[in-house]
């Protein structure tokens, strides 16, 4: 009888075979009105390019964070996720060069002391499963954010008549993100519901998640405002609660299900709202994403 880990490994192997990394040669980088795209979505391409290219650092972080990771986790992030994400960055970088945008510096090597410390703690009894759960929850929130962002970006580009980059760059990237989300969700559900995490492990995961949550690609205040620029360009501020519900889908189900009536963990909504507020303040328009709630 196959175990959950067997099924997860088969999923990873099948997904990797069915969705090889995208190639630059298959993309049509024709841009009809570079000035209009740059004005409307320049901040989006700039931010997403940096985040995708920083996958090299993310792999180093995962190695430090989970030195005793499962073979399935290592197969996923080494052989499937990171090659796909890196090519996403290459494609987006080609578009931003076509738009005349200066690339944002990408940090591809620095692993923080905090991550290295958590990696050491993961070797204590019971801690590896807590760290694994946080990894899956972070991955699920990140990939759901990416699906929303790329969906809105491709629709926006289509409406502008920029079908070449919409259909041959952004749409193919968007098609690969749901598989990443599925891996994180299935892994988290198996860990919580089948492996039988103890109450103290779940309590610690809630505590750490609440205090460590950060938006994808954010490591400092400037990047938080940059994320807010992306959120505003993609109209997250117009339906912020709906976006937050989707981003928090997995952790709301696995960590907070006992809190009846909780639509969105407050730390996720606060992070999104804070980024939008910082972006608006930086651009001279003071406002909050919650104004649209």
- Number of domains the chain is built from: 1
* pLDDT score of 289: 54
- Rounded CA-CA distance 75/12 in Å is 8
Whole-number Å distance between alpha carbons of 227 and 274: 10
Per-residue pLDDT tens digits for 17-31: 999 999 999 999 999
Q: Classify residue 268 by burial, with Cβ atoms within 10 Å: 0-12, 13-18, 19+.
A: buried
Instruction: Looking at the chain, list the stretches that DSSP marks H as alpha helix, in order from N- to C-terminal side.
Output: 4-18, 34-53, 55-65, 71-75, 82-98, 113-121, 127-159, 163-165, 171-193, 199-212, 221-233, 240-247, 249-254, 266-282
Averaged pLDDT, 43-53: 98
The distance from CA 167 to its chain's CA centroid, rounded to whole angstroms, is: 21
pLDDT-based confidence at 3, cuts 50/70/90? confident
Q: Is 240 left (phi over 0), alpha (psi -120 to 50) or beta?
A: alpha
pLDDT of residue 1: 57
Length of the chain: 293
Using an 8 Å Cβ cutoff, are 250 and 137 in contact? yes
Closest CA to 154 of 143, 163, 144: 163
- Does the pLDDT value for residue 293 go beyond 50? no
Spatial contact of 74 and 8, defined as CB atoms under 8 Å apart: no
Dist. CA 25–CA 67, nearest whole Å:
36
Helix-helix angle 171-193:82-98, to 10 degrees: 150
Does 264 have pLDDT greater than 80? yes
Q: Is the pLDDT of residue 2 over 90?
A: no
The predicted-structure confidence for 202-254, as pLDDT tens digits, reads as follows 999 999 999 999 999 999 999 999 999 999 999 999 999 999 999 999 999 99
pLDDT number for residue 193: 87
From 37-51, 199-213, 258-272, the region with the lowest mean pLDDT: 258-272
Please measure the distance between the N-terminal and C-terminal CA atoms of the chain and give it in whole angstroms.
49
User: Which CATH number does the domain housing residue 133 bear?
Assistant: 1.10.620
Tokens of 46: 């700039």
Sequence-distant (≥ 6) Cβ neighbours of residue 37 within 8 angstroms: 31, 99, 157, 160, 162, 165
**DSSP 8-state symbol, 255:** T
- Residue 107 is part of which domain span? 4-292
Angle at 107 between CA 277 and CA 288, to 5 degrees: 5
Query: Tens digit of pLDDT for each residue in 113-169?
Result: 999 999 999 999 999 999 999 999 999 999 999 999 999 999 999 999 999 999 999
């Amino acid at each position: 009888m196959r175990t959950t880990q067997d099924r997860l490994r088969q999923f990873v192997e099948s997904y990797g075979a069915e969705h090889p990394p995208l190639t630059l040669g298959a993309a049509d980088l024709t841009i009809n009105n570079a000035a209009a795209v740059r004005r409307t979505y320049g901040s989006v391409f700039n931010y997403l390019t940096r985040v995708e290219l920083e996958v090299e650092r993310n792999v180093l972080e995962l190695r430090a964070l989970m030195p005793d990771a499962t073979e399935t986790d290592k197969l996923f992030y080494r052989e499937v996720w990171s090659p796909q994400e890196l090519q996403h960055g290459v494609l987006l970088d080609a578009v931003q060069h076509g738009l005349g945008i200066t690339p944002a510096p990408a940090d591809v090597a620095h692993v923080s002391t905090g991550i290295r410390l958590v990696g050491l703690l993961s070797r204590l009894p019971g801690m590896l499963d807590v760290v694994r759960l946080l990894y899956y929850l972070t991955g699920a929130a990140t990939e759901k954010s990416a699906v929303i962002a790329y969906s809105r970006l491709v629709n926006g580009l289509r409406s502008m008549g920029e079908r070449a980059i919409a259909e041959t760059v952004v749409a193919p990237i968007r098609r690969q993100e749901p598989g990443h989300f599925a891996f994180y969700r299935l892994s988290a559900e198996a860990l919580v519901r089948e492996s039988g995490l103890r109450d103290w492990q779940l309590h610690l995961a809630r505590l750490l998640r609440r205090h460590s949550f950060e938006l994808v690609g954010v490591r400092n205040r400037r990047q938080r405002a940059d994320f807010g620029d992306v959120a505003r360009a993609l109209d997250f501020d117009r339906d912020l609660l709906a976006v937050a519900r989707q981003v928090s889908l997995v952790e709301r189900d696995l960590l907070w299900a006992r809190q009846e009536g909780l639509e969105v963990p407050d730390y996720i909504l606060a992070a999104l709202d804070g980024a939008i507020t910082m972006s608006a303040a930086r651009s001279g328009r003071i406002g909050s994403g919650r104004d649209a709630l």
